[in-house]
Amino acid sequence: MSTGPDGSAPRDPWRLARSFDRPESMERATPSGLSTEELNSLSAQEREALYEEIHGVAHIIEETPEFVAAKLAAMREELTRVKNRHALDRAFFLRPSFEVDDDLHLMFLRARRFDVIEASTLMASHFELKLELFGDEMLPKRITIDDLNEKEQKMIKVGPLQVLKSREMKGRAIMLWNIAALSIDATDPHVLMRYQWYVIN
């Protein structure tokens, strides 16, 4: 992969595609969210990878047993080096099987196209957010409707967030928000986040 303009760090088109930063000038913005200069600086291969990521048509990764086993082993090694690991360590302590749970680790690997470092960081962030939203004792448990308060359960009945049964071409879930169905309770970000966690997890 080519390097940046100063010849230092390699560019990552996947990271650019996931970026939510607004370009400095909306007049120079492209549909991908990058400025024209940033887009033009990419190689043809990087630009193609970026467009594939945006439109959900990136090449399919063949998950052979050997490939999956190697990625799982690499992720377990990377998890020992991940930063901001307070919630991750606590989850491992409360349920030691999390450290060797293939299905759990594959969920994060697939979400990051088997990038071991990004998958490990995502897993740590997952538990950090879960700790913040639901507290220590819920870290190793699946959140059920009984774990939600009255306002959050009311939002479930209204259903402003829907996850479609079908998925986009790359296998990612499709979520639809009905903003008109949001109640006044949705102005509380904590209520909204807990409700959203329950729906998509």
Write out the chain's pLDDT in tens, 201 residues.
444 444 444 444 344 434 433 334 333 444 445 677 777 888 888 877 777 777 766 677 889 999 999 999 999 999 999 998 999 999 999 999 999 999 999 999 998 889 999 999 999 999 999 999 999 999 999 999 999 999 899 888 888 898 888 877 767 788 888 888 776 556 688 888 999 999 988
Which pair of structure tokens corresponds to residue 6? 């100063």
- Taking residue 93's Cβ as centre, other Cβ atoms within 10 Å add up to 12
Q: Enter the pTM of the model.
A: 0.70
